Amino acid sequence: MHSAPRPDRIHYPHPDSSVVVVLPRVGDRILLQLRDDIEGIVFPGYWGFFGGAIDEGENPTQAAIRETAEELNMKPDDLFFVGFEAVQELNGLHAHAFSFLLDRAVDDIELGEGMDKALLGLDDLATGWAYSKAKGRDYPVIPVEFLERCMRRTLKSWGE
């Protein structure tokens, strides 16, 4: 039984802001982050991509490397650009997507941010919910079609 997400806690990004999203992959699964459940962040307590804002003076690649180090405590050797999208359902958010092959077991990753991590596929996104082993219950997936589009684009770029 799922409890409904609280819409009053969903904060959308500022219009036209620029971010990077990082999609570590294993086969046809992408590692997603269960976002911290704290006030004031975008989509608290939801499953979403790793990543964050592009800092002043950074290019998207530099931001993706920094965000991967901050959130996953790793520096991938094979980070590559997947694509760019102005995400209309997120106030025109400018999202630069990057991916890399995950080179370690998920349980060996020590998160720098977030409550949990899990390898999820398109079938998981379709349900709108995913189970957190760390928290022992289901949490909602960020309810925007961008997640599916970005995952499809990423898997296609890897030939999956």
pTM of this structure: 0.89
Instruction: Tally the domains of the chain.
Output: 1
Domain of residue 24, residue span:
10-157
Cβ count near 39 (within 10 Å):
7
CATH number where 74 lies: 3.90.79.10
**Structural domain includes residue 2:** no
**Structural domain includes residue 104:** yes
State the pLDDT at residue 117: 98
State the pLDDT at residue 3: 58
Whose tokens are 């082993």? That residue is 133
Residue 22, beta-bridge partner list: 50, 98
**Structural domain includes residue 3:** no
State the pLDDT at residue 12: 46
Cα–Cα distance for residue pair 115/33, rounded to 1 Å: 7
Q: Which residues of the chain have pLDDT under 50?
A: 4, 6-15
Cα–Cα distance for residue pair 124/55, rounded to 1 Å: 31
